[in-house]
Amino acid sequence: MHRIHSQADWITRARAVLPAAGFGNFDASIVIARGEGSRVWDEDGNEFVDYLIGSGPMLLGHGHPEVMEAVLEQLPKGMTFFANNVKGIGLAEAIVDAVPCCEQVRFVTSGGEADMYAIRLARAYTGKPKILKFEGGYHGMSAEAQMSLAPSKHVNFPTAVPDSAGIPECVADEMLIAPFNDLEAVASLLAEHSDIAAIIAEPLQRIIPAQPGFLQGLRDLCDKHGVLLIFDEIVTGFRLAYGGAQERYGVTPDICTLGKIIGGGFPLAALGACTEIMSHFDKAAVGVEKWLMQLGTLSGNPVASAAGLKTMEILRRPGQYERLRELGQTLMDMQSAALSKQGIAHRICGDPTVFDVYFTETDPIDYRSAKHSDPKLNEIWNSTLRANGVFKSPGKLYSSLVLRTDDLELTRSAFQHAANAVSEYRIRAMSSFHA
């Protein structure tokens, strides 16, 4: 008998009411029914080890009992107030204690919103209009962030290319684009342009690591030219280390943005800086002309704050980050071993806490070099992983603290199946070429 609520039924219903049948985030051909611990299930009951983890926030897994208890304790007291609350204040204190550049924070609802305000804050503080970003760097959905995020055509630097319709041409005039990991290019742009307010960068650009000295080089150049340095730590904050990339790499920006983990799975993000810079959110401190207006219906809401506070408390416990890195390194090694056994050229790129594979013989160092030699190999790799119980993004794998031995063994087997499928495709492609 046909199931009334099969996944196919839900996809049909979604197609009628959602553009491209989805939320714009992920593959619309899968509808997730529930998550528990390290696993998720789709509406047809298929079970997966979850390496998407909500695009990063579920570092402790789905339904962590202590986080659930904190949320359930808060719910009857109120879900949101559009006013100060003790959970939000407590979360701000915890962030300030943890993150080197933060003396004060301002809450928003999403990481993209935090990045938008960080750019605006830099302009308000410096009085300068231009922003330097790196090609391929992801900073949300604002007009500035959508410049040269994933350009399909290569243009000469520092020309900005919009990646979305609906963005006025004038936005590109205020954006300068540089290749990641290229200090010479950055130095040249800063020398040429005296009207740059800030450089915004992911300390780990998607999964491309900064080369030794690059982040400190940015810090030094910003200091030399009177430019602010913004670290987008939406992904890396409380993931690479408790103090984020700033702690991990020992480089402190002027402004940072945080999201994902600080909300414990609920909508919450923040930006932070020293008190002097953050004073632009205080009209009484800076006056009307220098005041940066910011408000949001759910900013700092107590449910998300309670979840974030408990998540951060758990992450402070001894051994958590050591375990996270050990799990991630195990996954990286398993992935590489499966591909090496089949003689498939590849590079495992990223950090043990977030990484993936590129099918290439060269090390990815920037957007233009972070490419697969044949995109079809990545397509086969990811589709075979999903068919064998591994749920991940097409370009990123998040490790989490809730992974168990059986999860790792299932994943090892899936990697082997995927490597075999890639190898078989390559053999067929070579046979067709020679024929």
Active site residue 232: yes
Q: What is the C-alpha separation between 222 and 101, in angstroms, rounded?
A: 15
- What gap in Å lies between CA 434 and CA 377, rounded to an integer? 19
Contacts 24+ apart (CB under 8 A), 78-83: 78/302, 79/301, 79/302, 79/303, 80/297, 80/298, 80/301, 80/302, 80/303, 81/301, 81/302, 82/297
Instruction: Please report the beta strands in 158-259, taking only residues with DSSP state E, as ranges in sequence order.
Output: 175-178, 196-201, 204-205, 208-209, 228-233, 255-258
**Which one is catalytic: 87, 130, 260, 396?**
260
Query: Torsion angle of alpha carbons 19, 23, 24, 25, nearest 10°?
Result: -160
Q: Beta-carbon neighbour count of residue 392 at 10 Å?
A: 20
Per the residue annotation, which of 51, 125, 138, 249 is the catalytic one? 138
Question: Is there a catalytic annotation at residue 128?
Answer: no
Kindly give the pairing relationship between strand 39-42 and strand 47-50.
Answer: antiparallel
The catalytically annotated residue of 115, 182, 232, 407 is: 232
Return the structure tokens found at 339.
Answer: 């591909």
51 included as an active-site residue:
no
Give how far Cα 153 sits from Cα of 117, 145, 150, 284, Å: 29, 17, 9, 47
Tell me the two tokens of residue 330.
Answer: 């195990």
Which three-class secondary structure state does DSSP give residue 95? helix
Residues classed as catalytic: 138, 232, 260
